[in-house]
């Protein structure tokens, strides 16, 4: 019985961690609309008109440690350097959606 409970708890823990990332992913379709309205002036096509080397392309995101949904979400919410914070302008759900869109576009090559 003790082994069964241990196996059951271990299975629950593994499944929780295995599927938690997909549960956090936002809606990329909604994210594309939010991106167009709020981000495209500086980041059209995944580029960056302010700091040309810090694009939203996969290679640049990896180089600057922005290659995860969590990192992109934090950047959008808090801002950094020339990028303004959108935490007060967009809801957490909107930020999650736009981060998902950016992450997916980077994986596709914009």
What's the whole-model pTM score? Answer: 0.78
Kindly state which CATH superfamily the domain 26-108 is placed in: Cytochrome c-like domain (1.10.760.10)
Q: Looking at the chain, how many residues does it have? A: 110
Q: Are 101 and 32 in contact (CB under 8 A)?
A: yes
User: Residues within the annotated binding site?
Assistant: 39, 42-43, 83
User: Residues within the annotated binding site for heme c?
Assistant: 39, 42-43, 83
pLDDT digits (tens, 9 = 90+) for 41-81: 999 999 999 999 999 999 999 999 999 999 999 999 999 99
Residue 4 DSSP label: H
Positions of E strands within the chain: none
pLDDT at 101 over 60: yes
Helices (H), 25-109: 28-38, 40-43, 58-63, 69-78, 92-108
pLDDT at 20 over 70: no
């Amino acid at each position: 019985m003790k082994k069964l409970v241990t196996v059951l708890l271990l299975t629950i823990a593994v499944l929780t961690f295995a599927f938690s990332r997909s549960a956090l992913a936002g809606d990329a379709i909604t994210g594309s609309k939010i991106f167009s309205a709020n981000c495209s002036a500086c980041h059209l096509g995944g580029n960056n008109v302010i700091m040309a080397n810090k694009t939203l392309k996969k290679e640049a995101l990896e180089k600057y440690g922005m290659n995860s949904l969590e990192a992109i979400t934090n950047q959008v919410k808090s801002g950094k350097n020339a990028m303004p914070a959108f935490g007060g302008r967009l809801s957490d759900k909107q930020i999650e959606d736009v981060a998902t869109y950016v992450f997916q576009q980077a994986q596709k090559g914009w």
